[in-house]
């Protein structure tokens, strides 16, 4: 698998690509996509970051093409990967956790990928994917990534990603696994921002198929804990990993 970044025009893109490689290449865990290497070619210069090819694609695609897959097991593997990142020295915050950034190996193992928004807690860089969104009160919120997975504290300018904001995004991944769609799929970004700031969750999916996939009351309540508006009330990655294994 190859990811590309054009380095010639925007220094911030170059910095982000270099930061991603710096973080990614030192990570070693069964549930983290391995970094093989990189090469810069062409004019304008394009940086190619190389990792193993994942035949099964990302988590969302895999669940749709493998309806028999054990979603709870995949979430347990994702939690193990996040626990590893948060337990690293220095701590690594993924920063962009969502189903599209979880790849599935040939053996059906979940692996965290796309470290373009990752941060080492004592070496935080500027973000090149910030956007402004105006809510109903005409306040402007600046955020990076997509608000579907963003913790409320990240919707304010100058707020940095944390292990707690990763756990909020993990809660959204729980929703993706069982609903088999993205959170707030039919809403605009500005509407999503308003809902997140109000502490609203996506509507709980129903039906026997959803229940069969593992979305019971306990799992839904755990998802709500992960997505609590108060970062201190969210479970840590080790707590999430233990809960999912129990």
Closest CA to 110 of 63, 42, 49: 63
Residues 6+ apart with CB under 8 A from 82: 94, 97, 112, 166, 167, 170, 237, 240, 241
Mean pLDDT to the nearest integer, 198-203: 96
Instruction: Assess whether pLDDT exceeds 80 at residue 133.
Output: no
CATH of domain 56-245: 1.10.510.10
Output the pLDDT for position 44. Answer: 63
pLDDT in tens, 18-63: 766 777 788 999 999 988 877 777 766 677 777 888 989 999 999 9
Q: Which of the two residues, 45 and 72, has the higher pLDDT score? A: 72
CA–CA gap between residue 220 and residue 223 (Å, rounded): 5
Output the pLDDT for position 166. Answer: 97
> What's the longest Cα–Cα distance across the chain?
54
Q: Which of 96, 114, 127, 228 is the catalytic position?
A: 96
Mean pLDDT to the nearest integer, 4-18: 57
Q: Which of the two residues, 130 and 223, has the higher pLDDT score? A: 223
Neighbours of 95 (CB within 10 A): 25
Domain boundaries in the chain?
56-245
Grouping H, G, I as helix, E, B as strand and the rest as coil, residue 185 is coil
Q: Is 217 a catalytic residue?
A: no
Of 25-34, 63-72, 143-152, the range with the lowest mean pLDDT is 143-152
């Amino acid at each position: 698998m190859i990811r590309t970044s054009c380095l010639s025009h925007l220094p911030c893109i170059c910095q982000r690509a270099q930061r991603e490689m710096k973080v990614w290449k030192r990570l070693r865990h069964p549930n983290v996509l391995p970094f093989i290497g990189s090469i810069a070619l062409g004019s304008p210069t394009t940086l190619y970051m190389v990792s193993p090819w994942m035949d099964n694609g990302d988590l969302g695609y895999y669940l749709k093409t493998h309806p028999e897959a054990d979603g709870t097991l995949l979430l347990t593997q994702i939690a193990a990967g996040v626990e590893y990142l948060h337990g690293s020295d220095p701590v690594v915050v993924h920063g962009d956790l969502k189903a599209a950034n979880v790849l599935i190996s040939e053996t059906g193992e979940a692996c965290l990928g796309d470290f373009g928004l990752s941060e080492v807690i004592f070496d935080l860089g500027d973000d090149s994917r910030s956007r402004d969104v105006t809510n109903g009160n005409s306040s402007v919120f600046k955020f990076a990534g997509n608000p579907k997975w963003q913790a409320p504290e990240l919707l304010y300018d100058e707020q940095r990603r944390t292990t707690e904001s990763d756990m909020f995004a993990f809660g959204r991944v729980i929703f993706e696994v069982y609903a088999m769609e993205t959170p707030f799929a039919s809403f605009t970004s500005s509407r999503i921002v308003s809902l997140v700031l109000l502490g609203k969750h996506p509507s709980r999916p129903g039906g026997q198929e959803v229940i069969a996939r593992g979305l019971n009351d306990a799992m839904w309540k755990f998802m709500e804990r992960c997505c609590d508006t108060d970062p201190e009330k969210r479970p840590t990655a080790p707590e999430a990993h233990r809960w999912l294994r129990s």
